[in-house]
Amino acid sequence: MHPDEEMGPRVTEAASEEATLVTRGRFFLREWNANQAKWAQCLTIAFSALATYSYHNIGATANVQVSIMTVITLVGASPFCRTHLTTAAIGTFV
């Protein structure tokens, strides 16, 4: 037998790097869905604040209360309702 056959198939660097990216991606999505990481909470607050500001000042200008209620309703209707609704509500009042 050749030495390569005895050791089995070699894992290339590209395959190892791809596996690392997949693992990082799963970790990112798990933290994002759980909303337990500080960065996920900060992003949710920032996104909600920007969405409320944009809805209030750009395009058809709406009352501040209407824009806050709209953003909270849109977040509440999303699949992330259980985990992101509280932080989104905080962001709308920012």
CA torsion sign for 7, 9, 14, 19 is: negative
pLDDT in tens, the chain (94 residues): 555 555 555 555 556 767 777 787 777 777 777 777 787 788 888 888 888 888 888 766 778 888 888 888 888 787 766 777 788 888 888 7
> Tell me, what's the pLDDT at 27?
77
> Tell me, what's the pLDDT at 47?
86
Please spell the DSSP secondary structure of 23-88, one letter per residue: HHHHHHHHHHHHT-SHHHHHHHHHHHHHHHHHHHHSSS---HHHHHHHHHHHHHTSTTHHHHHHHH
Contact 83, 34 (CB under 8 A): yes
The tokens describing 94, both together, are 């920012």
> Tell me, what's the pLDDT at 65?
83
